[in-house]
A and B are shown apart, each in its own frame.
Chain A
Amino acid sequence: MADTPEEIRKHLKAYWKVGGALLICTFLTVVVAEITPSITIGLAIAAFKAGLVAMIFMHLNSEKPMIYKIMGYTFFFFLGLMFLTILALYDPLVSRG
C-alpha cells in the first residue's frame, strides 16, 4: 500500500492500464469463441484476466504471508472439490451404457 501522493498517482496509472488490458482480453475471448470451439483457450484467457484482477486490483502481489497461507489452503481445497468430484464421474465401477 502506497503512502505518498506520487506513488498513489503511479498506482492510478497502473490500474487504468490493467483495466484496458482486461477490456482487450474480453474482446479477445469473444473472438476466440467465434473461431474455435476450444474451451481450454477460453478458460486460459479467463484465468489470465482473473489473475490480473487478483494480483493488481486486489493487491495480492504485495500481501502479507498470512493472507497467502489462507488463500493457498483455499485454492488447494477448491481444486480438490473440482477434480475429485469429476474424477468420480469418470471412474465408475460399471461403465455407463
Chain B
Amino acid sequence: MAGATTADADLHHGDHDDHHHELPWWKKWVFSTDHKVIGYQYGITALIFLFIGFYLMMVMRWSIAHPDKELPGILQAFLNKSWLNEEGQVTGDLYNMFGAMHGTIMVFLGIVPLAFGAFGNFVTPLQIGAPDMAFPRLNMASYWAYFAGGLIMLASFFLPSGAAEAGWTMYSPFATTAQVDEPNLWFTGQTFWLFGMVMLITSSLLGAVNFITTIINLRCRGMTWMRLPFFVWAMLVTGFLLLLAFPPLEVAALMQLMDRMTGASFFIPTGLNFTGAGTADAGVMAVSGGGSPLLYQHLFWFLAHPEVYVLILPAIAIVGEIIPNNIRKPIWGYKSMVYAVMVLGFLSFIVWAHHMYLTGMGNVVSTFFQATTVIISIPSVILLTCLFISLWGGSIRFTVPMLWALAFLPMFGFGGLTGLPLAFNLIDLHLHDTYYVIGHFHYIVAPGTIFGLFAGIYYWFPKATGRMMGNKLGHLHFWPSLVAMNGIFLPMFIQGMAGFHRRWYDGGANFDEITSRVLFHEGSLWANLFNKGETITMLHLNEVMTFFVWVLAIAQAPFIFNFFWSLFKGRPAEDDNPWRATTLEWAAPNRPGHGNFLEEPVVYRGPYEYSVPGHEDDFTPQFERGSDGVILGEEEPPDAADKGGH
C-alpha cells in the first residue's frame, strides 16, 4: 500500500529531535529557514511578479495594436499618468520602459524564482529524502536577496526617470547613456536595474550552491544517482548553469555601473557622438573611449544563453514527473534523458554568440557557434522524444496536471523547432530582431515553461496544503489559456518572416512597406469572415494577438480564485499520496513538518516503477520495500572512510 500515515502535521510538530517551543509567527512564516516555507515565499512573490510583467505586456500590446488610441482606463489605473503623452496614448519612451521591464521581470523575477526557487526548494529535499537543504540559513538569505532585488526593480518605477528602458538585454552604450539628464544618476531606473541585478545574481548564486550540495550530499539511504527522479537531475544541471554562468553578467553589470557612475569607458568606443535629449548636447562624449560595446554583449550572452536553459529545464523536470504518474508507466529512456540533460547543460556554455551573428564576426567564430548551436538541439530533442515515446502504450489519466503536461510537449516542441532556423547565420540575417524571434522564445517560455509550472502547482498542491485544487476550475483555466497562447504567439512567426521588427512601439505604423503586406486579399473567404471583405494585412494580426491577450488575462481568473479558495475549502486529499505516485515526496505527510519525514526514508527501487508485472498495484513507490526492494549503494558498511566516487 502506498503512502505513509495520514498525519496532518503542522510545521512545528514534525520534528522529534529538538523539543523547542513553538516558533513565533514571524520566524515560522517570514524569516524561516525551512525549505518548504522558503519555497512558498518564492512562489507567491514570483507569481505576483508574473502578473506585474503580464500587465506591462498588456500596455505594450495596446500600443502595438492601437497606437493612436488613448490607453483604456483599466490599464491606466496602474501607471503614472505623466508617462502618457498629451492625448493619453502610450509613448515610445513608455513602451521602451515597459518592454525592458517586462523582459527583466518575467525572466529574472518571475520564471526563474518560481521554477528554481519555489519548485526546486519545495520538491528537491523531499524527493531525495533529506530533512532540509544543506544550508538552511543560506537558503533564507537567498530568498531575501531576491526579495531585495525585486523591491529595487519595482522601486525604479517610482523614480522621476521611470524604470530602465534599454531592453531586457540592457546593451551599452544606450544603457549607459540613457536617463543621464536626471540630476542624480544614482536615482535613475537604469542604475537601479544594475543594483537590482546584483542582488538577484547573488540570490541565484547562493541558491545554486545550496541545491548542488544538497543533491550531492544529502540523498537518503539507497538514493543512488541513477535512482534519482529526473526532476532532481534537471535541478542539478540548472544549479550548475546558474552557478557558472551568472558571474560574467555580474561583471558586465558592475562594468556598466562603472561606466555610468564613474565615467569609465568599458563599453564606450572612442569618438562616440552623444546627442542629449534634443538640446545643445551634441558632440563627442567627454570620456576616454577605448572600450567596446561588444564586450558587454559577450559577457551578457555568456549568461543569457545558459539562462534560457535555466528557464526550460525545471519545466521539463516537472513534466517529467507528471507524465509517468499519469500514464502509469515508467519514462521511456530515463538514462538517455539523464545524459541528455547533462550534455545540454555543458553545451549551453558554448553557444552564446548565436545571439550576436550580426555583430560583424568572421567565418571561423561564426562557424563554431553555428555548429555548437545545431548540435545542442540534439539533447533537447532527445528529452522531448523520450517524453513523447513514453506516452505510447500508457494508460493515460487526464487529470488537470496532466493536461498542462501534455500541452507542454507540442508547445515546447514547436518553440524549439522554430529555433533551428535561427541557428544559421544566413537565415538569422533576415530574422534577427524580428517578431520571429519573439515568437520562438515566447512559445518556449509561455505555453512551454509556464504550462509546466502550472502543472506543478496543481500537482504538488495537495502535498503542500493537504487539499486538492478544484477540477472544473482547472479546466476553465487550461483550455482558454491554451487557445489564447497560440492566438498570441503563432502570428508572430508570420509577422517576423514578413519583416516586423521587435520593439516597434506603434506596431509598425511607420513601416508601411512591411506592415501593409497582404495576408488575405479582399473578397477572399477570410477577408469576408473577419474584415468585412476588405484586405487583411500583416498589421491586422496585431489586433488579433492583442485580442487573445485579453482572453489570456481573463483565463487566469479561475486559477487565482481556485488557488486561494482551495487553500481553505478545497477537497481534502484522501491520503498522503492522492496521485498514487512513486517518488519520495509522497512518503512525507501532507503539509510536512520541520524535517519532512516521520521515519527515515529509504529507497528500494527506481523512481518510476509503474505497472510492474507481478505487482498487485499499478505502482510501487520508491520507499516501499515490498518483496523485491533492494537498497543500492551500500556494498561497504556505511562507516568506511574516504571512499572516492559514487
Would A and B touch once assembled, by the CB under 8 A criterion? yes
Which A residues have a C-beta under 8 Å from some C-beta of B?
64-66, 73-74, 77, 80-81, 84-85, 87-89, 91-94
The interface residues of chain A lying within 8 Å CB-to-CB of B360 are 92-94
Complex CA–CA separation, A14 to B479 (angstroms): 70
- When the two chains form the complex, which single residue of A65, A80, A84, A88 contacts B644, counting CB atoms closer than 8 Å? A65
- Tell me how far the C-beta of B89 lies from the nearest C-beta in chain A, rounded to whole angstroms: 40
Contact across chains for B361 and A77 when beta carbons are under 8 A apart: no
The interface residues of chain B lying within 8 Å CB-to-CB of A84 are 350, 353, 365, 368
Contact across chains for B644 and A92 when beta carbons are under 8 A apart: no
- Looking at chain B's contact residues, is the secondary structure mostly helix, strand, loop, or mixed? helix
Contact across chains for B645 and A88 when beta carbons are under 8 A apart: no
Contact across chains for B302 and A81 when beta carbons are under 8 A apart: yes
* Number of B residues with CB within 8 Å of any CB on chain A: 24
For the complex of A and B, 10 pairs with smallest distance between CB atoms: A91-B362, A93-B360, A91-B364, A91-B365, A85-B298, A77-B349, A88-B365, A65-B644, A65-B645, A92-B362
Query: Which residues, 331 to 385 on B, are CB-close (under 8 Å) to A?
Result: 346, 349-350, 353, 356, 360-365, 368
The interface residues of chain B lying within 8 Å CB-to-CB of A73 are 240, 244, 346
Complex CA–CA separation, A85 to B294 (angstroms): 9
B261 contacts chain A at the CB level, 8 A cutoff? no
B216 contacts chain A at the CB level, 8 A cutoff? yes
Q: What are 6 A-B interface contacts by the 8 Å CB criterion?
A: A66-B216, A77-B244, A84-B365, A87-B365, A88-B298, A88-B353
- Looking at chain A's contact residues, is the secondary structure mostly helix, strand, loop, or mixed? helix
- When the two chains form the complex, which single residue of B295, B368, B644 contacts A64, counting CB atoms closer than 8 Å? B644
The interface residues of chain B lying within 8 Å CB-to-CB of A88 are 294, 298, 353, 356, 361, 365
Which B residues have a C-beta under 8 Å from some C-beta of A?
216, 240, 244, 248, 294-295, 298, 302, 346, 349-350, 353, 356, 360-365, 368, 642, 644-646
Known A73-B346, A77-B349, A84-B350: A92·B361 in contact at CB below 8 Å? yes
Most B CB within 10 A of own CB, among A80, A85, A87, A89: A85
The interface residues of chain B lying within 8 Å CB-to-CB of A85 are 295, 298
- Tell me how far the C-beta of A7 lies from the nearest C-beta in chain B, rounded to whole angstroms: 15
Complex CA–CA separation, A93 to B368 (angstroms): 14
- Tell me how far the C-beta of A67 lies from the nearest C-beta in chain B, rounded to whole angstroms: 10
The interface residues of chain B lying within 8 Å CB-to-CB of A66 are 216, 646
Complex CA–CA separation, A14 to B645 (angstroms): 28
Contact across chains for B365 and A80 when beta carbons are under 8 A apart: no
- Tell me how far the C-beta of A60 lies from the nearest C-beta in chain B, rounded to whole angstroms: 14
Most B CB within 10 A of own CB, among A66, A87, A88, A91: A88
The interface residues of chain A lying within 8 Å CB-to-CB of B353 are 84, 88
Contact across chains for B244 and A93 when beta carbons are under 8 A apart: no
Complex CA–CA separation, A84 to B248 (angstroms): 14
Complex CA–CA separation, A38 to B30 (angstroms): 57
Complex CA–CA separation, A88 to B296 (angstroms): 13
- Tell me how far the C-beta of A3 lies from the nearest C-beta in chain B, rounded to whole angstroms: 10
- Tell me how far the C-beta of B376 lies from the nearest C-beta in chain A, rounded to whole angstroms: 14
Complex CA–CA separation, A52 to B179 (angstroms): 48
- Tell me how far the C-beta of B316 lies from the nearest C-beta in chain A, rounded to whole angstroms: 21
- Tell me how far the C-beta of A68 lies from the nearest C-beta in chain B, rounded to whole angstroms: 10
Complex CA–CA separation, A91 to B361 (angstroms): 6
